[in-house]
Amino acid sequence: MRVKIQNNINMNAKNILVMISGAICLFLLSGPVMADTVTQPGQITFQGATTLSVALEGGTYSTFGAGTISWSNAVGSSNLIYATGHSSSKSDIIVICQYNGTGTGWALKMNFTSSDALAGKMKFYMGQPTYNSVSTNGTLGFPTPGGGQDWPFIPGSAATIYTSGSNDKINTTNGTWCGISFAITPVGLAAGVQYSGVITYTIVELP
């Protein structure tokens, strides 16, 4: 980001001279108090590059960071299996979103793609994001936790999972942190077969 500050100063030299002359006369003659006024217009222009970025936290505050999320033994009758190494004390990953544009806000989208049987079996959990360690007042783009669908399926095409609120619309200081955890429904997956897929996160500016 490049910040440029311009301060245009225009001053009437004649008025300044009069003020100085008046001050000298006041000192020498000890006459009536004199006063003069001069206005000084100023202008400050802020030029900063618009920020619209999405990144993955490196793994200090999340389990997997930007690394691979894996399931070492996903075959079973359970309808919800967490990723191997999942911890209930922190999110599997944290998506960090930053924005300082002139739109009405921003939105985070997510989708999961897979060319094999794993498609349509990936679920996620996301609580209310935080900005500078304070919960945001933005809107989750799916049933909220506790609302009957805590682990919705990740859509195959990009869909909004969070829309910024008034307290994180402009959030370039540390960004908005969106903690997400994952699970799969293993029904229909064959034992001994390796499956793979890609989770994509996209941030968009709202008009």
**Residues β-bridged to residue 124:** 182
Rg (CA), the chain: 29
**CA atoms of 203 and 55, how far apart (whole Å):** 10
Quick one: average pLDDT of 139-159?
A: 80
Note whether 97 and 171 are within 8 A (CB).
Answer: yes
Q: Each residue of 98-109: pLDDT tens digit?
A: 999 999 999 999
Q: What is the pTM of this model?
A: 0.75
Residues whose CB is less than 8 angstroms from the CB of residue 80 and which lie 6 or more positions away in sequence, other chains included: 123, 151, 183, 184, 185
Note whether 128 and 206 are within 8 A (CB).
Answer: no
Q: Each residue of 35-51: pLDDT tens digit?
A: 777 777 777 655 566 78
Q: Would you mind telling me the total number of residues written for the chain in this entry?
A: 207
Nearest to 183 by CA among 142, 136, 143, 151: 151
**CA atoms of 9 and 12, how far apart (whole Å):** 10
Place of tokens 């009536």: 32
Provide DSSP, 171-185: -TTT-EEEEEEEEE-
Output the pLDDT for position 146.
Answer: 56
